[in-house]
Structure 1
Amino acid sequence: MAIAQKMAMSLLERQTGSKGLPLASFAIEVDLNLDGLPEIFAYRYAPGCDGVNCGNFLFVLEGDSYQEVLGGVPGARLVPQDKIALSPFKRNGFFDIQSDKMTIGWDGTRYIDASTFPASSLAGAAFVAACQKNKLSQQSQEQVSAACQCQFNRFQTLGFTQADLDAYTASMVGQDFKYPTGDKENAWLTLTRDAQDIATGCDVASGKSQWPPAYFNHGDQPQRKLNFNGFLDACPAQDFILTNHKTGSPDRALSLCGCLAREIPTHGVSQEGLDLLAQYYRDEISDSDLEAQDADLLTAHDKASEACLSQFPAK
């Protein structure tokens, strides 16, 4: 929460023009697409909030910059936090969100009212039969029927075409099915990803399983409650962070630094070590100075950097 709050302060200042976070404000990290690099949800308190420069904000790193993605949803700024929840289902790679009585979904660049997405009406007997055949050895007949019907319903909710459903069903059956290649391969991979997300969402909704977290090569030490302010002030401005080929912009540098702040403590770095790294990032001490004070610190830093950069999204 401390890392999210520090990151949110600069993002909210840019969004609203107001500095700092008033009392009763907060920010949290939430990984909406399970890529291991969480988005930032922030609530900025203001008396008599009108939902313009206060209320709920959600920042998602898109390309070179963080975008606020709730602004187009009527009333979303003012929904009480106890009426906001993640859905078990994804759409276009991101979780749907329950915002009071409205479900909002990801359209590829922002969240919008999910009821505005086109749905479809499909013939699903062949899919349900193939699904039940695949699952019957794993669960009871009743559970299998419910799971397969859930998947079919979600296919329609997401607007799958009949051709998409038929192709996916054929791949399940496996007979005379040729996997698409060439120009059609990417579309097929997206289709199968969405279908797998639907199956997982149905299992989560039924209580059978949970969404697996993103793979991340964490250190073997538990997270610690540290003061990250100095580190997060210095890190995004450091030239070797800002100019790394995977960053290249202030917001991407901020995102990478947030990841480093989360990961470095899992490699055994203490508050003293984190403060030394902040000095190092401010060019106040050299590599040799740092190693003289803590011989293992740069190694821990480099391991955390490697873990974060390996997960970092393409521009």
Structure 2
Amino acid sequence: MRLFSRPATAFAVAMLCLCLGTAHAQDLPENIPWANSVAIAEKMASGLLEQKTGSKDFPAASFAVAVDLNLDGFAEIFAYRHAPDCDGIRCGNFVFVLEGDSYHEVLGDIPGARLAPQDKIALGAFKRNGFLDMQFDQMTISWDGKRYADASSFPASSLDGGAFLTACQKSKSNEQPAEDEAERVNAECQCQFNRFQVTSFTQADLDMYTASLGENFDYPTGGKEIAWQALLKNAEDVGTGCNVASGKSQWPPAYFNHGDQPQQKLNFDHFLDACPAQDFILTNHKIESPDRALTLCGCLAREMPTQGISQEGLDLLAQYYRDEISDADIEAQDADILAFHDKASEACLSQFPAK
């Protein structure tokens, strides 16, 4: 079993590739899994950008990258559409997020985000409402539950953190009793408290979480359990974010049951044209919309190369999805192709996000 690449790493590589001179980039050794990921993202982005902007072309110097902003294993699409003297309407930076049945572009209401230079865009250390923050030049943007917004527009709280800091330091000191850890423990707890104040924590939330750090905490049950679990998840995300910010750890990626075969560099265009239109994809009870079908097909395209599929095999599957050939036709040419496809389908559908 292998992991998806850490999204911050993937995003950084995309920025690096964009900023490197072409001649220099050609001197670098080719990373085939990365090249496949970019090819899939750019194919998906071209259709999404056409829906958003009405422009069918994907000009030279444009690019797209898959980046998992909510760490669910299904990548969002960051796209940059180039245009001379870009006005930020049909060109610039775009982020497409699958929400419910459809992809939504989530940067459009943020002044300046469309035109931020690519070398000044990065993932943040923290999550808000389940999505990683992003840095666009001097502006941090955070997820408000439906789209990204300027983090400075979110309300802040003024909390009494004395009891929390004491409980936090005690709980961490129990885990790491070495004397030279005291300063780091204090910094971690202060980081968490500072973050609580800008992530809509109320005093009641903080007091309950503080109590949970001590002994004999009476965990909520019944109707209160769901709210407690959400509070606990937010608090744990804050703790992880502080550890990421300090360099102590990284955000854990989603786990998929990947194949372990060396990948071949593939052209996914025909497959990604045919797959989302196939009835057995669209009518699956987890799919039932064109954009969700595109998400599943993007996942299949990423997964099948890890099973060892070749270009010939992928092209046969495209024909199969267009109803030009049958299962028997594929098996007559390569008995492994449908097995690769079925393993990828199982991996993708088992983790597919709910509506």
TM-score per shorter chain, which class?
Answer: over 0.9
Contact 2:264 2:308 in 1 (8 A): no
- Any residues of structure 2 matched to 1:51-62 within 5 Å, and which? 51-62=88-99
Is residue 247 of structure 1 aligned with residue 281 of structure 2? no
Instruction: State the match for 2:267 in structure 1.
Output: 227
Deviation at 1:225, TM superposition (A): 2.0
Q: In 2, Cα distance between the equivalents of 1:167 and 1:224?
A: 52
- The structure 2 residue matched to 1:286, chosen from 326, 337, 343, is 326
- Any residues of structure 2 matched to 1:44-193 within 5 Å, and which? 44-136=81-173, 137-138=175-176, 140-175=181-216, 177-193=217-233
Q: In 2, Cα distance between the equivalents of 1:83 and 1:224?
A: 32
Greater relative contact order (CA < 8 Å, ≥ 6 in sequence):
2
Instruction: State the match for 2:12 in structure 1.
Output: none
**3-state DSSP class of the match of 1:130?**
helix
- The structure 2 residue matched to 1:218, chosen from 258, 265, 273, is 258
TM-score by structure 2 length?
A: 0.87
Q: In 2, Cα distance between the equivalents of 1:222 and 1:108?
A: 38
Cα distance per residue 1:158-202 (max 9 Å; x no partner):
120011011111111132x22222322221111111111111110
Deviation at 1:147, TM superposition (A): 0.6
Instruction: State the match for 2:296 in structure 1.
Output: 256
- Structure 1, 64-73 or 275-284: larger mean CA deviation: 275-284
Is residue 35 of structure 1 aligned with residue 75 of structure 2? no
TM-score by structure 1 length?
A: 0.98
- Structure 1, 213-222 or 76-85: larger mean CA deviation: 213-222
Contact 2:94 2:114 in 1 (8 A): yes
Instruction: State the match for 1:303 in structure 2.
Output: 343
Q: In 1, Cα distance between the equivalents of 2:347 and 2:263?
A: 15
Contact 2:123 2:134 in 1 (8 A): yes
Deviation at 1:68, TM superposition (A): 0.3
- The structure 1 residue matched to 2:48, chosen from 11, 16, 22, is 11
Is residue 196 of structure 1 aligned with residue 236 of structure 2? yes
Amino acid at match of 2:187: A
Q: In 2, Cα distance between the equivalents of 1:132 and 1:270?
A: 54
Amino acid at match of 2:321: Y
Aligned residues: 314
Change (3 A) 1:90 1:222: farther
Contact 1:119 1:157 in 2 (8 A): yes
The 4+ residue runs of structure 1 with deviation greater than 4 A are none
**3-state DSSP class of the match of 2:72?**
coil
Contact 1:66 1:251 in 2 (8 A): yes
RMSD: 1.0
Identity percentage of aligned residues: 75
Q: In 2, Cα distance between the equivalents of 1:221 and 1:101?
A: 42
Q: In 2, Cα distance between the equivalents of 1:251 and 1:159?
A: 32
Contact 1:223 1:262 in 2 (8 A): no
Q: In 2, Cα distance between the equivalents of 1:44 and 1:191?
A: 39
Q: 5+ residue gaps in structure 1?
A: none
Amino acid at match of 1:77: R
